[in-house]
């Protein structure tokens, strides 16, 4: 079974940890993440933030500095919301190796704390009454626009992108799994119906149909 999705955003987003390049895409099958994919909003120069300061090299940075923070997250498929978790803080972002190393050393501790510590604010959507289940992860605190039990339509504004949970800079993590319980969930393959893709700033975008975006490509809606 492969689930075909629409893009969950407008504008340009950089692809990271794509299952087109490796499976499991995030190096683990835990929490149903075997075919998960990450998206980072970028500008016309394919930058995740428009400026760099001394903090970029030596310290953490406010999440508001990044293009993804606060961007609308749209429903990539119709379904029913079965989990809507909010209240987790949006962390400072980390591009500096000085801050990434201690953060990586805390990974096991966050995993031990359970799905909320890893996913942060998130939504899980039941695609059919028997599954599978779409998860949209690392959402901005206080931005959820839907509640558990609510039916949603494609392209509906569900929440905003944030930096909650196990996230080093604002981005959207998307995955589909076979069951609601992330502790036992198994990942389900995904494709995206139609999008534009560019590899370098200023080059012509190519329209792609029903593929998986490739690693480090910048994609956006095809209209």
- Asked whether residue 209 is domain-assigned, the answer is yes
pLDDT tens-digit series, residues 83-105: 999 999 999 888 766 666 666 65
Domain that holds residue 86: 3-53+63-91+115-220
Cα distances (Å, whole numbers) of residue 150 to 67, 99, 145: 29, 39, 10
- Asked whether residue 108 is domain-assigned, the answer is no
- Asked whether residue 156 is domain-assigned, the answer is yes
Q: Are the C-beta atoms of residues 31 and 25 closer than 8 Å to each other?
A: no
CA dihedral 45, 171, 1, 83 (to 10 degrees): -150
Q: What is the mean pLDDT of residues 120-138?
A: 97
Q: Which residue has the tokens 């893709």?
A: 197
- Tally the domains of the chain: 1
Q: What is the mean pLDDT of residues 175-194?
A: 94
- Asked whether residue 181 is domain-assigned, the answer is yes
- Asked whether residue 103 is domain-assigned, the answer is no
Q: How high is the pLDDT of residue 108?
A: 60
For position 144, which CATH number holds? 2.70.70.10
- Asked whether residue 110 is domain-assigned, the answer is no
Output the pTM of the full model: 0.92
- Asked whether residue 99 is domain-assigned, the answer is no
Q: How high is the pLDDT of residue 101?
A: 63
């Amino acid at each position: 079974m492969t689930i075909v999705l629409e893009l969950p955003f407008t504008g340009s987003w950089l692809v990271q940890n794509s299952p087109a390049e490796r499976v499991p895409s995030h190096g683990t099958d835990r929490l149903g993440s075997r075919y998960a994919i990450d998206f980072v909003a970028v500008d016309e120069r394919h930058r995740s933030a428009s400026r760099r300061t001394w903090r970029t090299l030596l310290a953490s940075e406010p999440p508001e500095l990044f293009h993804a923070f606060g961007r609308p997250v749209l429903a990539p498929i119709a379904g029913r919301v079965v989990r809507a978790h909010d209240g987790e803080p949006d962390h400072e972002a980390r591009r500096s190796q000085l801050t990434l190393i201690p953060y990586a050393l805390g990974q096991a501790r966050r995993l031990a704390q359970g799905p909320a510590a890893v996913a942060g604010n998130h939504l899980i959507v039941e695609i059919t009454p028997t599954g599978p289940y779409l998860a949209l992860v690392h959402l901005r605190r206080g931005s959820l626009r839907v509640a558990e039990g609510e039916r949603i339509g494609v392209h509906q504004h569900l929440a905003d992108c944030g930096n909650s949970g196990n996230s080093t800079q604002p981005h959207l993590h998307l995955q589909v799994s076979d069951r609601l319980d992330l502790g036992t969930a198994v990942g389900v393959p995904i494709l995206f119906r139609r999008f534009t893709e560019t590899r370098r700033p200023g080059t012509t975008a190519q329209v792609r149909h029903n593929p998986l975006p490739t690693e480090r490509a910048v994609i956006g809606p095809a209209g």
